[in-house]
């Protein structure tokens, strides 16, 4: 929602970017400044804290497509002298506003008033002689106000979690724009790229309305063993050739718990998935399973005795070509 002080704030200059900056370059510029001026690294410097708040406000507006378009429109009007002043209080004033629609004050038509106010999400004048239901200079919710106070702006934040924390859930501590720490409860099963909205923790309203929210984007570090598959956890389990061929009982790791035993049936091929019920991700929506994918491990070093034993097995194994079906399908 637009703020009347946008006329006087050059958000592009605050972030050191041009007006045609791309979303990617805008984000890079903000991150570079955030590292320099974040309260964690400025050690209570009031000037740098003020700079951090100023650039955070600029990025919040310019990173939102609709707010950026509205800001550019308002700034364009302001650059041409279109300031909302009472007649006679300075140059520009209402004459400059209406001249943008090819009319002077004396000849402006109702349709042109509609065009002007449609730029701010209005359908024309409302009762009361100003925007919305208030008068000029009163806190009526900005240019889109309808008599109520304006909601504070949302703030974006990022946090990186380890895999186990994301799966199990945990309460972590983040630092707000004011430099003060606050706690956030991470629900069990949060996924990489997911966003968590913290109601009422964003910027305050400029005129007594509700505060905005903090929207936290979550990045989850990969685990060296487990991966996510919805609510299921996946793990690849190596087995020897003899375990796969003759069958065996093996141990399989679980995330943060004791290993479980699984039965590998005789003749199990690589790629077969064995399921352990209820050992996946626990959430309010349900509980997943642990999916153990068997992978036959081929020994890379054999002594002479082992080679002789395998050669004897080769002479005794069924004379079947496992690639016959593959070659036939390839010719279809």
Residue 148 — φ and ψ, nearest 5°? -110, 160
Contact 321, 302 (CB under 8 A): no
Record the tokens describing residue 124, joined without a space: 């024309």
Contact 62, 14 (CB under 8 A): no
Q: Where are the domains of the chain?
A: 4-138, 155-220, 227-330
Q: Which residues of the chain carry a pLDDT beneath 70?
A: 1-5, 7, 39-44, 77-148, 177-178
Q: What is the pTM of this model?
A: 0.51
Measure the CA–CA gap between 115 and 100, rounded to whole angstroms.
10
Per-residue CA distances from 12 to 1, 22, 166, 178, 228 (Å): 18, 12, 36, 22, 40
The CATH label, of 2.60.260.20, 2.70.50.30, 2.60.40.10, 3.40.50.720, for the domain at 155-220 is 2.60.260.20
The CATH label, of 1.10.287.110, 1.10.600.10, 3.30.420.40, 3.40.190.10, for the domain at 4-138 is 1.10.287.110
Closest CA to 69 of 8, 6, 147: 6
pLDDT in tens, 294-320: 999 988 888 999 999 989 988 888 888
Closest CA to 166 of 147, 192, 128: 192
Which pLDDT score is estimated for 304? 93
CATH class of 227-330: mainly beta
pLDDT in tens, 138-171: 344 444 444 568 888 998 888 899 999 999 998 8
Record the tokens describing residue 19, joined without a space: 């007006």
Residue identified by tokens 């690589």 is 270
Evaluate whether 155-220 and 227-330 have a shared fold.
yes
H helices present in the chain, as ranges = 11-15, 23-37, 39-42, 46-62, 65-79, 93-99, 110-118, 163-168, 241-246, 304-316, 324-330
Chain mean position to CA 279? 28
Q: Tell me whether strands 195-198 and 214-220 are parallel, antiparallel or unpaired.
A: antiparallel
The full length of the chain comes to 332
Which pLDDT score is estimated for 128? 38
Per-residue CA distances from 7 to 71, 212, 277, 320 (Å): 8, 22, 61, 81
Contact 275, 287 (CB under 8 A): no
Q: Tell me whether strands 227-229 and 232-240 are parallel, antiparallel or unpaired.
A: antiparallel
Going by C-beta distance under 8 Å and a sequence separation of 6 or more, which residues neighbour residue 118? none
């Amino acid at each position: 929602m637009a703020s009347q002080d946008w006329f006087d704030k050059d958000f592009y200059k605050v972030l050191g970017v041009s007006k045609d900056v791309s979303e990617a370059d805008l984000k890079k510029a903000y991150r570079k400044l955030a590292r320099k001026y974040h309260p964690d690294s400025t050690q209570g410097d009031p000037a740098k804290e003020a700079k951090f708040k100023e650039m955070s406000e600029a990025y919040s507006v310019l990173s939102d497509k609709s707010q950026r378009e509205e800001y550019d429109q308002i700034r364009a009007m302001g650059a041409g002298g279109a300031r909302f002043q009472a007649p006679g209080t300075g140059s520009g004033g209402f004459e400059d506003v209406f001249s943008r629609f090819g009319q002077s004050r004396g000849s402006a038509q109702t349709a042109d008033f509609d065009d002007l106010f449609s730029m701010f999400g209005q359908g024309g004048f409302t009762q009361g002689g100003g925007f919305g239901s208030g008068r000029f200079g009163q806190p009526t919710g900005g240019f889109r106000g309808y008599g109520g106070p304006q909601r504070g702006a949302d703030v974006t934040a990022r946090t990186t979690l380890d895999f186990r924390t994301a799966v199990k859930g945990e309460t972590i501590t983040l630092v707000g724009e004011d430099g003060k720490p606050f706690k956030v409860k991470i629900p069990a099963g949060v996924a990489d790229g997911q966003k968590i909205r913290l109601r009422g923790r964003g910027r305050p309203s400029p005129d007594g309305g509700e505060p905005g929210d903090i929207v936290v984007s979550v990045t989850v570090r990969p685990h060296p063993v487990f991966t996510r598959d919805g609510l299921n956890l996946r793990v690849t389990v190596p087995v020897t050739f003899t375990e796969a061929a003759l069958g065996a009982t093996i141990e399989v790791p679980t995330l943060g718990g004791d290993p479980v035993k699984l039965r590998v049936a005789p003749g199990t091929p690589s790629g077969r998935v064995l399921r352990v019920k209820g050992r996946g991700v626990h959430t309010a929506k349900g509980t997943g399973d642990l999916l153990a994918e068997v992978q036959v491990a081929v020994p890379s070093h054999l002594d002479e005795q082992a080679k002789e034993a395998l050669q004897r097995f080769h002479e005794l194994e069924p004379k079947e070509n496992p690639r016959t079906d593959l070659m036939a399908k390839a010719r279809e």
